[in-house]
Amino acid sequence: MQRVNSGCRYALAALALCCASGAHSSEQQHSSDAVMLQGFHWHSHQTNWYNSMQANALSIKQLGVSHVWFPPASDAAAPQGYLPRQLNNLNSAYGSAAQLQAATAALAQQGVKSVADIVVNHRVGSTNWADFTNPTWGPWAVTRDDEWGQGSGNWDSGDGYHAARDLDHSNATVQADIINWINNVLKPAGFSGIRFDYSKGYSAYYAGLYARATEADFCVGEVWTDLNYDNVDAHRQQLVDFVNGTAGDCGVFDFTTKGLLNQALNANQYWRLSNNYQPAGGIGWWPQKMVTFVDNHDTGPSEMCGNGQSYWPVACNKVMEGYAYILSHPGIPSVYWAHVYDWNLYQPIQALIALRRELNIRSDASVAVQVADASRYAAIVDDKLAVKIGPGDWQPGAGWTLALSGDGYALWKKSTSEQADWQRTVVFVYGVTAAGQDMFIRGGIDHNYAAANLGLSCTASNYQCALPIRHNNLRNPTTAPWKQNEQYLDWYGSESGQSSAALGTAADWTTNMWPASWGTKRTVALDGYGEEPLNQYGEHYWMLDVEMDCSRSANGWFELKTFISNGPGWEADISQPGAPYASGNHFAQCGKLNVFRRGEAQPVTISNF
């Protein structure tokens, strides 16, 4: 399955999920509020790590995370755990099997789930290249194209890994033993989720198979490939392909967003984070399936800047900018133990997580990028959180309160006074039409006025100059389909999910009386058009009847202009006397009954109901 376009990301998600054969429901199946802590760094094995995790269980809960990703739990040839040897032996450099279980139990007591690091792309023998024990396997478990040269399994279904033997996941015994290890060794140790290491090393089909067979409640794969900054879409397509390959049962680390953050923060290329006013990383296509991060045990340092792996790090002095981004944006964020506990960033990261939870920013949150250039990136998330990162200046304007700030970042939330104020608002506009013609209305607040007087930077994607509406009349069979999925009275035409035939907000033809000669009486109350008690003015007064969020108006005022399809087209500019500012449009008042005649400047009336 290929992605069609960015606007179809939710349709793509639904299609992938409908194809999943598993009966379980993971965190990534739907909108999620999960936040994960990577519970280790590259040097964690140098102490009795499980004891440290157990001791910090309450602190981890108070940080605000829902999941903790553990280091590989099985016996391994390297202390970090990524050269697994005896899968069923949970004594490792991080501690004993009993200490592991005590750590997961302490977290569970605090309501935090544990995620196992599953290293199954490859394996090492107990004493040589391939004398696998516990479980015992022979050369038949090794792919025939492995560097060892003695594997007799099938061809590798992914990329090779030279430091250990590549496993043949098409082999039924390999599959059964891996599933047994997860179900009967790792799950009793306290794990309910899975992180697949080196997921590009074998077909995503097998990750999905293992996730379903073990009923993992959280599943994420590591697909770390080279990022060509001149072809970002190809990189995020690889992420989507992995998710689709698991039949939608696993998410994936958003390495595209990671790479774009690197360039934004390290090279002042904040413009890379925006693609047509949407996030340019994996979260711009399929946010529910993306696990975002600033750095991890491979990409970043460990206890301090400059040590550890540091293969692809964010600049050490820009780390909090990175967290301001991922903890305010869609996807499932993952924060890094070293940053939280070794770099003394616990409190600012905790504050960001708390703000995310206060405003209920979830994995499928909407994003409207406001600006992205060489010095700053700013966005409005779910129309209730504003974020700016970078040295450049930016403010969200009136109606916002600064919630958090630090070196290079700031976040605002909607002021209490700016909570929605829904009021019934009715507009009548007189316009004579012929058969096959319909009236549409566009409106909101003038962009230039909003920029100069309200501190708003209005675009067709952020809808800051639009008025949120809820239609009261969906009874007209002609206009109701055009009103479906419409959320705003705006200047821009059809919205996402709205019929492309909607040339604005559809109005309904009304009259003050229905003569008997016209046949069966039609009324707005029953039919959605026709006779209407609020129409005291005559025939051909087209009606818009909505609940409108008056908190988004300009001191109670908003503008509008009409369009008649299949004929007259747009209404000419007018200059309304007594208007609150200069404009070529009609001015109406939110929460009132507004009556105009098309092409005439003087309102018929603006009155209370």
* 181 has a pLDDT exceeding 90: yes
Q: Is 364 a catalytic residue?
A: no
Q: What is the DSSP string of 132-179?
A: BTTTTB-GGGB-TTSTTS---SPPPSS---TTSEEB-TTSHHHHHHHH
Among 3-7, 469-473, 601-605, which is the least confidently predicted range?
Answer: 3-7
Report which residue type is found at 500.
S
Measure CA of the first residue to CA of the last residue in the chain; give whole Å: 54
**Please, are residues 204 and 120 in contact by the beta-carbon 8 Å criterion?**
no
Q: Which of 222, 249, 254, 490 is catalytic?
A: 222
Q: Is 527 a catalytic residue?
A: no
Q: What is the pLDDT of residue 98?
A: 98
How would you classify the pairing of strands 409-414 and 385-389? antiparallel
Spatial distance between the Cα atoms of 527 and 396, rounded to a whole number of angstroms: 43
| Average of per-residue pLDDT across 575-596 | 96
Q: Following CA atoms 94, 100, 102, 104 in sequence, which dihedral angle do they give, to the nearest 10 degrees?
A: 110
Segments in 231-340 forming alpha helices (H): 232-245, 255-267, 319-326, 337
The tokens describing 490, both together, are 């705006």
Cβ-based neighbour number of residue 226 at 10 Å: 7
How would you classify the pairing of strands 530-531 and 400-406? unpaired
- Between 55 and 383, whose confidence is greater? 55
Spatial distance between the Cα atoms of 277 and 390, rounded to a whole number of angstroms: 17
Mean model confidence pLDDT for the chain: 92
pLDDT band at 6 (very low <50, low <70, confident <90, very high): very low
Which DSSP helix (H) or strand (E) runs through 106? helix 97-109
The position carrying tokens 């908003």 is 558
Q: Above pLDDT 70, what percent of the chain?
A: 94
Helix, strand, or coil here: 446? coil
Residues in the chain, overall count: 609
**Please, are residues 81 and 117 in contact by the beta-carbon 8 Å criterion?**
yes
Q: Which of 117, 166, 168, 197 is catalytic?
A: 197
| Average of per-residue pLDDT across 531-554 | 95
| Average of per-residue pLDDT across 395-406 | 89
Half-sphere exposure of residue 22: CA atoms within 13 angstroms, side-chain side: 25
Q: What is the pLDDT of residue 30?
A: 67
The position carrying tokens 């499932």 is 332
Q: What single-letter DSSP state applies at residue 408?
A: T
* 3 has a pLDDT exceeding 60: no
Q: What is the pLDDT of residue 111?
A: 96
**Please, are residues 37 and 67 in contact by the beta-carbon 8 Å criterion?**
yes
Fold of 42-58+65-222: TIM Barrel (3.20.20)
Q: What is the pLDDT of residue 19?
A: 28
| Average of per-residue pLDDT across 353-371 | 93
Q: What is the pLDDT of residue 16?
A: 29
Q: What is the pLDDT of residue 10?
A: 28
pTM: 0.70
* 9 has a pLDDT exceeding 80: no
Spatial distance between the Cα atoms of 34 and 357, rounded to a whole number of angstroms: 10
Per-residue CA distances from 175 to 135, 161, 213 (Å):
12, 19, 10
Q: Are the folds of 42-58+65-222 and 422-607 the same?
A: no
* 418 has a pLDDT exceeding 80: no
pLDDT band at 387 (very low <50, low <70, confident <90, very high): very high
Spatial distance between the Cα atoms of 279 and 378, rounded to a whole number of angstroms: 11
* 470 has a pLDDT exceeding 50: yes
Q: Hey, where are the domains in the chain?
A: 42-58+65-222, 380-418, 422-607
Per-residue CA distances from 485 to 4, 282, 288 (Å):
21, 25, 21
Report which residue type is found at 597.
R
Q: Which residues pair with 38 in a beta bridge?
A: 69, 336
**Please, are residues 561 and 585 in contact by the beta-carbon 8 Å criterion?**
yes
Helix, strand, coil content of the chain in percent (nearest 5): 25, 25, 50
Spatial distance between the Cα atoms of 364 and 370, rounded to a whole number of angstroms: 19
Residue 568's nearest CA partner among 439, 482, 429 is 439
The position carrying tokens 């506990």 is 341
3-class secondary structure for 171-239? CHHHHHHHHHHHHHHHCCCCCCEEEECCHHHCCHHHHHHHHHHHCCCEEEECCCCCCCCCCHHHHHHHH
Superfamily of chain region 422-607: Immunoglobulins (2.60.40.10)
In a 10 Å sphere around its CB, with 0-12 CB exposed, 13-18 middle and 19+ buried, how is residue 268 labelled? Answer: middle
Those residues with Cβ within 8 angstroms of residue 376's Cβ, 6 or more apart along the chain or in another chain: 270, 388, 389, 390, 391, 392, 393, 394
* 11 has a pLDDT exceeding 50: no
Q: What is the DSSP string of 64-93?
A: T-SEEEPPP-S-BSSTTS-SB--TT---BT
Spatial distance between the Cα atoms of 458 and 74, rounded to a whole number of angstroms: 54
Q: What single-letter DSSP state applies at residue 571?
A: P
* 29 has a pLDDT exceeding 70: no
In a 10 Å sphere around its CB, with 0-12 CB exposed, 13-18 middle and 19+ buried, how is residue 215 labelled? Answer: middle
